[in-house]
Amino acid sequence: MLVAVSDTHGRAEHRLAGRTREAVAAADAVIHAGDFYTGDVLAAFESAADRLYGVVGNNDDATVRNRLPESRVVGYEGVTFAVRHRARSSTALSLFGREHDADAVVYGHSHDPGVETTDDLVLVNPGSHAQPRGNRQSHAEFEPRPGGGLDGRLVTVEGETFAEFTIEND
């Protein structure tokens, strides 16, 4: 399983709880779409996840900015993810994904979990597991599908699935 989280905004720890903590511990890899906040939080995530693929968020300190890229490409089970923190619009996210020949884009910043499917991309905001700002505390989970691609879902910290989607690989 691949797990995506974002917008931790922590000072010293990963702030993982409930189903999100369980999912990160069980995951083959974890994507963090930015705003760890401090290097200590980044280190806590590195300890909690077998493989962590993070990007810098707009609130990350110099320690995080010096260690992580602003964007990256992550492959998992034949699916390509383009990852960044901020997006001006769905159009900008789609262009970003196409520039990186991705099947999906994972992004954060708004703390508002959601999925948008375009003709050729799936745009996924896992929301924030720690600081939801009026939204659900959540993360995204991706499981391999028989025959290729991934089944995805948005899941609350309490373990409730509130959105399901599929990512095809080309």
Average pLDDT of the chain to the nearest whole number: 97
Domain locations in the chain as residue ranges = 2-167
Structure token digits, residue 146: 């028989």
Q: Quickly state the pLDDT bin for 133 (edges 50, 70, 90).
A: very high
Whether pTM > 0.95 for this model: the answer is yes
Position 65 pLDDT exceeds 90: yes
pLDDT of residue 119: 85
Q: What is the pLDDT of residue 87?
A: 87
Question: What are the contacts of 17-22 at 24+ separation with CB within 8 A?
Answer: 17/129, 17/157, 18/157, 18/158, 18/159, 19/139, 19/155, 19/156, 19/157, 19/158, 19/159, 20/129, 20/137, 20/138, 20/139, 20/155, 20/157, 21/48
**Any idea which fold 2-167 has?**
Purple Acid Phosphatase; chain A, domain 2 (3.60.21)
Strands 29-32, 52-54: pairing is parallel
Q: What pLDDT score was predicted for residue 145?
A: 97
